[in-house]
Amino acid sequence: MVEKIALREGFGDVLAQGAYRLAEKYGHPELFMGVKKQEFPSYECRALQGMAIGFATQSRGADHIRGEVHDIEMYGCYQWRITRDRKIEKVDPLTWRDKPVLAKEIQDWFCMIDSSGMCNFMFFFALDEDQCRALLETGTGIDLDGYKGFMKTGERIFNQERLFNLKAGLTGKDDALPKRMLEEPMPDGSAKGMVV
């Protein structure tokens, strides 16, 4: 089937168009699991409430690269960077507490990293925000005016993306998770019984 998808042969041509168009073609768009026609990656947002916010509000839809709240929720990765001005001891993946602010800051952060043209993963594991800012300032010749200026520029990029989406016909109604995430409780696991 992978070859048929790649060559767009037979049913592979239908699958090559993505999960949204597949569900739509067969008259069941409610079965699509994603946001803004972008399929969910391998994260269950009922178990990671911060990811739910990221998926719903990302300009690119259900995108785990721009809304990486899950790294804080699951591993505590780079939490010290994003929460540098606040005292957040631990982030509970099963609650909404602190998540809207974290999601926004992570989205702004990643807009800046993406604007550099470099691999996102390098910034998680190798560089801190001051080093990232220094690289961008050196490469562009623009003074970002410290961490706050760095994040403000990321926010502006994010807002430009949202304006682009508005021009393309997307509205706040598109910042929505599938009903299944909101109404159908997790059947098992550590998030058993959870909905977004």
pTM for this entry = 0.84
pLDDT in tens, 156-180: 999 999 999 999 999 999 999 999 9
Exposed, middle or buried, 11 (CB in 10 Å: 0-12/13-18/19+)?
Answer: exposed
> Could you tell me whether strands 38-39 and 34-35 are parallel, antiparallel, or unpaired per DSSP bridges?
antiparallel
- DSSP letters along 17-70, please? T-HHHHHHHTT-GGG--EETTEEP-S--TTT-HHHHHHHHH-TTSS-TTT-THH
Mean pLDDT of 80-100: 70
pLDDT in tens, 115-134: 888 787 776 667 777 888 88
Q: How is the chain split into domains, by residue range? A: 45-177
Amino acid sitting at position 142: I
CATH classification (class only), 45-177: mainly alpha
